[in-house]
Amino acid sequence: MNQLQERIYSNEYLDLLIPYTYTTPEEFIFSFQNYDPQIINSDFAVIHVPISLWPINNPENFVYSVVPNLFTTLDTTSLEEAGILKAQTQPALELKGQGIMIGFLDTGILYTHPAFQAPDSRTRIIRIWDQTIPSEDNSGPYGYGTEYTEEQINEALSSTLPLSVVPSTDTDGHGTYVAGVAAGTEDPVSDFIGAAPLATLAVVRLKEAKQHLKDFYYFSGDIPVFQETDIMTGVKYLLDLSRKIRMPLILCIALGSNQGDHMGYTPLDISLRRLDSLPGVATVVAAGGEAGKAHHFLGNVESSTAPQSVEIFVQENTKGFFIELWGQPPELFSVGFRSPVGEVIPRIPARLGRTEKIRFFLQETKIYVNYDLVQNTSGSQLVFIRFDKPTPGIWTIDVYVSSRQNGEFHMWLPISGFVNPDVTFLSPNPFTTITTPGNSVHVITAAAYDAYTGSLYINSGRGFTRNNQIKPDLTAPGINLTGPNLRNGYTTKSGTSPAAALTAGSSAQLMEWGLKISQYQYLSGYEIKNFLIRGADRSEALIYPNREWGYGTLNLYQVFSSISAT
């Protein structure tokens, strides 16, 4: 194993995201030659720094924008209701995603499942980049992991022991399910078909985040959790692959995080922004299932002299958690604390680039408060707060404001499943709960509803963004959708992940339609989004766009009806 690959996997090295501002790659590589630099795109790069030189738990070292955020899988009828079956079967259309590549960044794929094989039993998967398997000959994309080709997968399928040939698999099932909903092969016996059953699949199996990042963010759940740097290299891999094989790309990202500014300015958001106007590339993202989980608080400090009090319920055996408070300039927010046993920490002045470590006399709890007065990707103010060994009970954060304009601020706790037991706000707000990267205006963000009853999925992430951009873009069926499981059969799941998968498959159908019109008609993500919005069903009882439904419910066939009617 070479040095770069070893550092990428080693928990003794921290992967830091830094702005790429150099004139030439050679200049950048020379400047960081001791830290195995990797250029992700024209905006960001990654360096690998020994923990001994930059211990992440040292409060003085924390810089929010360079430490990768953590993402996890989101909670997981019909094709007919969404207008997908009509687009597949209508003789003038017959759109099944042929000639389009759908790329998945997830927990992997059970490539032996019939849902990913053509009728001749050959694979429909053109590549798998498994980041969890170090390459023996150091040939992995971007320095790590192992890439498996279509030929190798077909060899494995013809073997009695497929995993001895291609050892990549999916031990969680989320990635397999999402890929199947988006693009599974038709199975008449099981009455199953994906939205784009003739699309070509490409899969990035993301490696789990390093333990020191999990420890820093107090991850204590039992769900897969991935770091931002690996998702960003996965995006680059799929984009480079689509260009190499000259095939349009639909990215499907059914992952999310409560971290970030909720305006679309995280490093991952910015990386996806570069793809929006590229012909032949579109990105579909799930809105997340955070609306009813009590992880968002919307506050308003009404006076410069009196604080807004925010109450948080912490259960027994909580080892720690973090909170992000975001506000807009010129207002300047600061915080104080009241513990469940009555200890009071008065207002802590907001100081640039400084982390305050707070101890208590009557309890083990430590609190770390970091003020980022102007966060470098969004320009907003961030107050990043970490609770270590919090006393169970009701904690109160007193939020103060200087230079008051309207006093509004937002706070987010970690996404569902991240902290066990869960930590919640006592007076939560269900709006502005779309998970990152779904807040970016440069992606297609899908919320979820029940196509059987017509009702919104209760936990579907709701908009708008923190700066009032329209999100979600639309709402797709997401309740009791059938998809492949890890036993070569099928299962039903609910959530915004299947809604995003259906939308990704629909986007592949639209991309195929563009190429049928003209072999040079490569639709951009911006164009596909607006076609889908044009065709969406809208209720006369609602005003659009709105915070729950976006511009309406997915109806792919109606896209073509609306075009022909103009």
The pLDDT assigned to 78 comes to 53
Averaged pLDDT, 163-182: 97
CA distance 372 to 353: 6
CA distance 441 to 84: 24
Helix segments in 102-252, DSSP class H: 150-157, 162-165, 174-183, 211-216, 228-245
With tokens 């790590």, the residue in question is: 144
Q: Is residue 101 over pLDDT 60?
A: yes
Q: Is residue 524 over pLDDT 50?
A: yes
The pLDDT assigned to 76 comes to 54
Confidence class for position 354, pLDDT limits 50, 70, 90: confident
| Cβ pair 113, 484 in contact under 8 A | yes
CA angle 43/44/45 to nearest 5° reads 145
Q: Is residue 55 over pLDDT 80?
A: no
CA distance 414 to 417: 8
| Cβ pair 35, 11 in contact under 8 A | no
What torsion do the CA atoms of 524, 202, 219, 431 make, to the nearest 10 degrees? 30
HSE-up of 273 (CA within 13 Å, CB side)? 14
The pLDDT assigned to 64 comes to 81
Residue 233 has phi, psi (to 5 degrees) of: -70, -30
CB neighbours of residue 303 within 10 Å: 11
What does the DSSP 8-state code read for residue 222?
A: S
Residue range 452-466, pLDDT digits in tens = 899 999 999 999 999
CA angle 393/399/401 to nearest 5° reads 180
The percent of residues above 90 in pLDDT, for the chain, comes to: 79
Q: Which helix or strand (DSSP H or E) is residue 118 part of?
A: none
Q: Is residue 389 over pLDDT 70?
A: yes
pTM to 2 decimal places: 0.95
What are the structure tokens assigned to 528, written together?
Answer: 């596909």
What torsion do the CA atoms of 383, 387, 388, 392 make, to the nearest 10 degrees? 180
What does the DSSP 8-state code read for residue 550?
A: B
CA distances (Å), origin 507, targets 117, 200, 361: 21, 13, 58
CA distance 167 to 247: 26
Averaged pLDDT, 173-188: 97
Q: What is the overall mean pLDDT for the chain?
A: 93
The pLDDT assigned to 60 comes to 63
Q: List 204's β-bridge partners, or say none.
A: 105, 129
Q: Is residue 475 over pLDDT 60?
A: yes
Amino acid at the residue 394: I
